[in-house]
Chain A
């Protein structure tokens, strides 16, 4: 089962390296990873999709929280959340099957971005499962190329730590 971790980190060079190195070194596989800005310019947000088991996910969270640059790690799998992925697909197309492809695109709320001789490019923004279903629907026509953004996710309820700036984090005790 895929698990989705939201990792908020300092917006600094090299942080992606530290996070991905932690996954590599501990033998955790990354299915997709996106990095994006947040409302706080000092903080970046990573959405990591992994195929960890629950106990490995706790372990991954602990290893990530060893990193100085990591603010918080949240496993979204256990809470109601929203997930979106963007796919661009190049599919074989002939003038004869254009109507069918356009109709499929409409059903999946996809957009036809380009029509070329022999192929067209459609893009869709949806949940990963829905994109997979769209791909299956397109497969009989002949898939030529696929690009996917990787998941971006958010819990339905507000995630406190993900949006707080560093200085507002709860004070830790020093020994």
Chain B
């Protein structure tokens, strides 16, 4: 049966199991939108900006583990996807972006709304396609879906000319089955390497696991827990690995890196064996890479060969799927002789977590402190899915929140994209309609994509939004204070009345200035059937501590100056 290219596209999406796409229509994608109305199984969510649509697809993918799909027109529609694609590329999120393109006959002539989107997105996608014939749509899409999920996941873009959307062809689903995505998948890690790793573990007295995003990406969280428990190895987490190991577990050591907990970073520097699981030694994690974990042999389990040895030289690289590696190692695991080490870590931690003061300490603040707000949120909503933006609140959330299961922290780690949280939460809520979803954003980031509040209302979603408002671009201000002799430049930011803004977009709006108001607002937001935005007015001068200055050693962390010893060192 002959169909238009646009109809073929929707049939392919249905056959791939796509339930929702996020997009924005326009001239060069009109045939696809025309065909959208002729099918009923895929839900379309109309964003207010293509960047928002891309982050929604990203949040959907991170929350569900499935491929997120975003649809945009040519030219500005396509260029607006760029930040979303780069965000997904850096954090290994499986996305398929479909863009309309001007008709093939005028390609290269600077036609209206023509842009070389495959050229522009080449370094921020795993692969991209320019499709000019309807017969090429199914092979390109099937390969795009396979590629987005295989190996190290990531975004793939399919650009389809308008004439290819309109022309007719017959869909041959079987003939379009992809194979090329298998080309560079590593073979299973050889048994000999697993034995080598087990031997290194057996010889270790101070082993430490560094858990990254790869744990949840490969579905390895249960395998990681079993591994750590059997081998008696503590687990430190990167930002994107924080939800990969239960925070209440006795072997959970904490958040590592620039704003990590002191004992976690000190443990890295003291360890004699580092087991790096699905993480890539980002500079926010290593500090000065030349001084990182100087006493440790290093085993890197990583699916992407290009990450092995990129930043940190390792003693043993197991290139492959993390879950497969951990599950195959499990039968050979013996408890390591780590008892002294675990006790030493407790001693290292004790002075920083003195009763009744939990980590991180909340220094005295002018007005409500931001850590106080995040602690209320954490206590009230322990099972929520947290979607955080970028900046100080993101780091405080990472320090305070205690995640108990995977896919409960969604945040832009690698690219650090402000404006990510609100649209990503819309995607996450659509992926997990029964989950309690919270956005945490600063007053700067929420203003970058606040137009998506209307998308939230139009889709009838119950999401709560915490805006931690310190009337400042706080992280930038903090760096200016610490590293630019407190010369403050362009960090005072005015915000709209967030309560009125929420109401204008059809949400409930609340404001809290004290701990009591904050607690009441959170409880009311949770019990209300309507999406609620709460503005938490917090201390303007609060800073994220500890902080390891960029490029410094992990042990050279700076603590909140007003705190007593052992913080003041």
Question: Using a CB–CB distance below 8 Å, which chain A residues touch chain B?
Answer: 13-14, 17-18, 21, 25, 55, 58-59, 62-63, 65-71, 166-167, 169, 171-175
Q: Which of B164-172, B180-188, B386-394, B484-492 contacts A (4 or more CB under 8 A)?
A: B180-188
Partner of A173, one of B143, B147, B181, B188: B188
The answer to whether A17 and B127 touch across the interface, beta carbons within 8 angstroms, is no
Question: Using a CB–CB distance below 8 Å, which chain B residues touch chain A?
Answer: 118-119, 122-123, 126-127, 130, 143, 147, 150, 179-188, 218, 304-306, 308-310, 320-321, 323-324
Using known A-B contacts A175-B218, A175-B321, determine if residue A62 contacts B305 with beta carbons closer than 8 Å: yes
The residues of B that contact A66 with a CB separation of less than 8 Å are 126, 184, 304, 306
Q: A66-B184, A169-B183 provided; 7 other pairs, C-beta below 8 A?
A: A14-B130, A65-B306, A66-B126, A67-B127, A68-B180, A173-B186, A174-B185
Q: In whole Å, how far is B267's beta carbon from the nearest beta carbon of chain A?
A: 29
Inter-chain CA distance A62–B126, complex, in Å, is 14
The residues of B that contact A172 with a CB separation of less than 8 Å are 182-187
The answer to whether A59 and B324 touch across the interface, beta carbons within 8 angstroms, is no
Using known A-B contacts A172-B185, A175-B185, determine if residue A68 contacts B127 with beta carbons closer than 8 Å: yes
Inter-chain CA distance A59–B323, complex, in Å, is 25
The answer to whether A17 and B119 touch across the interface, beta carbons within 8 angstroms, is yes
The answer to whether A68 and B321 touch across the interface, beta carbons within 8 angstroms, is no
Q: In whole Å, how far is B131's beta carbon from the nearest beta carbon of chain A?
A: 12
The residues of B that contact A65 with a CB separation of less than 8 Å are 184, 305-306
Inter-chain CA distance A62–B185, complex, in Å, is 12
The residues of A that contact B150 with a CB separation of less than 8 Å are 174-175
Partner of B310, one of A18, A25, A59: A59
Inter-chain CA distance A62–B123, complex, in Å, is 15
Inter-chain CA distance A86–B321, complex, in Å, is 46
Partner of A68, one of B130, B147, B188, B310: B147
Inter-chain CA distance A174–B184, complex, in Å, is 10
Q: In whole Å, how far is B415's beta carbon from the nearest beta carbon of chain A?
A: 15
The answer to whether A55 and B122 touch across the interface, beta carbons within 8 angstroms, is no
Using known A-B contacts A68-B180, A175-B218, A175-B321, determine if residue A21 contacts B122 with beta carbons closer than 8 Å: yes
Using known A-B contacts A17-B119, A68-B126, determine if residue A174 contacts B182 with beta carbons closer than 8 Å: yes
Inter-chain CA distance A71–B305, complex, in Å, is 15
Q: In whole Å, how far is A16's beta carbon from the nearest beta carbon of chain B?
A: 12
The residues of B that contact A17 with a CB separation of less than 8 Å are 119, 122
Inter-chain CA distance A13–B323, complex, in Å, is 37
Inter-chain CA distance A172–B179, complex, in Å, is 10
Using known A-B contacts A59-B306, A59-B309, determine if residue A68 contacts B183 with beta carbons closer than 8 Å: yes
Q: Quick one: closest B residue to A26, CB to CB?
A: B306
Inter-chain CA distance A67–B181, complex, in Å, is 10
Using known A-B contacts A17-B119, A173-B186, A173-B188, determine if residue A62 contacts B308 with beta carbons closer than 8 Å: yes
Using known A-B contacts A17-B122, A175-B324, determine if residue A63 contacts B187 with beta carbons closer than 8 Å: no
Using known A-B contacts A169-B183, A172-B186, determine if residue A18 contacts B122 with beta carbons closer than 8 Å: yes
Q: In whole Å, how far is B146's beta carbon from the nearest beta carbon of chain A?
A: 9
Inter-chain CA distance A167–B185, complex, in Å, is 15
The residues of A that contact B179 with a CB separation of less than 8 Å are 167
The residues of A that contact B127 with a CB separation of less than 8 Å are 67-69
The residues of A that contact B323 with a CB separation of less than 8 Å are 175
List 7 A–B pairs whose Cβ atoms lie within 8 Å, in order of A's numbering.
A55-B309, A58-B309, A59-B310, A62-B306, A65-B184, A66-B304, A69-B127
The answer to whether A63 and B182 touch across the interface, beta carbons within 8 angstroms, is no
The answer to whether A171 and B119 touch across the interface, beta carbons within 8 angstroms, is no
Using known A-B contacts A17-B122, A175-B324, determine if residue A68 contacts B181 with beta carbons closer than 8 Å: yes
The residues of B that contact A68 with a CB separation of less than 8 Å are 126-127, 143, 147, 180-181, 183
Q: In whole Å, how far is B115's beta carbon from the nearest beta carbon of chain A?
A: 15
Using known A-B contacts A173-B185, A174-B150, determine if residue A21 contacts B309 with beta carbons closer than 8 Å: no
The residues of A that contact B183 with a CB separation of less than 8 Å are 68, 70-71, 166, 169, 172
The 3 closest A-B pairs by CB, nearest first: A62-B306, A175-B321, A172-B185
Q: Quick one: closest A residue to B152, CB to CB?
A: A66
Using known A-B contacts A17-B122, A65-B305, A175-B321, determine if residue A166 contacts B187 with beta carbons closer than 8 Å: no
Inter-chain CA distance A7–B418, complex, in Å, is 39
Inter-chain CA distance A174–B182, complex, in Å, is 7
Q: Quick one: closest A residue to B187, CB to CB?
A: A173
Using known A-B contacts A68-B147, A68-B181, A172-B187, determine if residue A14 contacts B218 with beta carbons closer than 8 Å: no
